């Protein structure tokens, strides 16, 4: 397995850091000291790809990343996102060109940088042609404010439409043992176009670590509470999937999280994983997955144990599903 992977002209390690849960989504975020320790610990551990967004903490995550990592800007590739953000305390999807340009200006300030290496359209605003949104991002490339364009949660067809306007360096969507939707078409479309595939939630939002046994312990504002797979009955139905995963991890001499990440990276040299964590020891465990050698038969059996046929319930509720453009089984 290659130690570094390509995002257009950029070279990054196969496992980066998704910064979202340092400010957003999974209940009360860690305090500033702990968040800073995770970011700096990641940098010291060799992480060279950090992923944030205007949405996360409604700007707070970009501010955190800019403050803590800004002095080390030359040491890493920086990714952020536009097209979905907080407006007066409400999450809004808005892909109009003027909005995207304004969001970028605000993000540059918060991130304490002159240029964002990879700038994603966080969601395709279906009221705006994808060509118009990508055209606006292409303008930001020409102005030198961003280096490369990415898309998030879109289909292969939308990727191809966007790529016809301007090369798309990366496509980001959920991919893991228990979320296989990219295998329908997007993974191949990325291969065809030379687009990197960035997998968020590569550990199944904690499920594949084997450490979350009782969803009743989730914080009241944890976004997983609104996800079908984390409803108590569905989660109980999915828990038995962890037994064979643990057995295979034991056989490989690694943790279930490391096995899940190794399986993901083995699905293609164009795949990069961005697990998120608030604990430095979890991050160090995750990063080791890029360096361990696991027998191909064990990886195959892991994929057979947990996949779209064995997992109970879809990843998103119906209302959320309408906001994205990914292929569904």
The helix-helix angle for 130-142 and 97-111 (nearest 10°) equals 40
Strands (DSSP E) contained in the chain are 5-7, 10-12, 17-18, 49-51, 77-82, 84-87, 90-93, 116-121, 146-152, 168-174, 196-200, 271-274
Please give the Cα distance from 230 to 161 (Å, whole number): 34
Instruction: List the structure tokens of 315.
Output: 């990843």
Cβ–Cβ < 8 Å for 235, 249:
no
Instruction: List the structure tokens of 140.
Output: 């930001």
Task: Report strand pairing: 84-87 vs 90-93.
Answer: antiparallel
Please give the Cα distance from 286 to 256 (Å, whole number): 10
Cβ–Cβ < 8 Å for 49, 14:
no
3-state DSSP call for residue 168?
Answer: strand
Cβ–Cβ < 8 Å for 54, 81:
yes
56, 119, 175, 235: which is the annotated catalytic residue? 56
Cβ–Cβ < 8 Å for 56, 20:
yes
Strands (DSSP E) contained in 99-177 are 116-121, 146-152, 168-174
Please give the Cα distance from 105 to 115 (Å, whole number): 10
Instruction: List the structure tokens of 163.
Output: 């790529």
| Residue 235 a catalytic site member | no
- The count of other CB atoms within 10 Å of the CB of residue 75 is 12
Number of H helices, E strands in the chain: 12, 12
Cβ–Cβ < 8 Å for 4, 11:
yes
Catalytic residues: 56
């Amino acid at each position: 397995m290659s130690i570094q992977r390509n995002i257009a002209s950029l070279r990054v390690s196969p496992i980066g850091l998704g910064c979202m849960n340092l400010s957003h989504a999974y209940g009360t975020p860690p305090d500033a000291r702990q968040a800073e320790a995770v970011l700096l610990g990641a940098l010291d551990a060799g992480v060279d790809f950090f992923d944030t967004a205007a949405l996360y903490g409604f700007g707070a995550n970009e501010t955190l990343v800019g403050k803590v990592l800004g002095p080390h800007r030359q040491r890493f590739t920086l990714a952020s996102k536009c097209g979905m953000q907080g407006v007066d305390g409400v999450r809004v999807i808005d892909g109009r060109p003027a909005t995207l340009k304004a969001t970028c200006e605000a993000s540059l300030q918060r991130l304490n940088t002159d240029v964002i290496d990879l700038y994603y359209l966080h969601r395709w605003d279906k009221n705006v042609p994808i060509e118009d949104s990508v055209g606006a991002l292409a303008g930001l490339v020409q102005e030198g404010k961003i280096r490369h364009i990415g898309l998030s949660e879109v289909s292969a067809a939308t990727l191809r439409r966007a790529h016809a306007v301007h090369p798309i360096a990366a496509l980001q969507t959920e991919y893991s043992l228990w979320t296989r939707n990219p295998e329908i078409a997007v993974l191949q479309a990325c291969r065809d176009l030379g687009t990197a595939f960035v997998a968020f939630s590569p550990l199944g939002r904690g499920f594949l670590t084997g450490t979350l046994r009782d969803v009743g312990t989730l914080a009241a504002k944890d976004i997983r509470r609104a996800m079908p797979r984390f409803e108590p009955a569905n989660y109980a139905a999915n828990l038995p999937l962890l037994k064979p995963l643990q057995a295979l991890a034991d056989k490989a001499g690694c943790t279930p999280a490391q096995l899940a990440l190794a399986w993901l990276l083995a699905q293609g040299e164009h795949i990069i994983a961005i697990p998120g964590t608030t604990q430095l020891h979890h991050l160090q465990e995750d990063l080791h997955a890029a360096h361990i050698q696991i027998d191909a038969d064990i990886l195959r059996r892991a994929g057979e144990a947990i996949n779209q046929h064995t997992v109970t319930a879809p990843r998103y509720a119906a209302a959320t599903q309408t906001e994205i453009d990914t292929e569904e089984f």
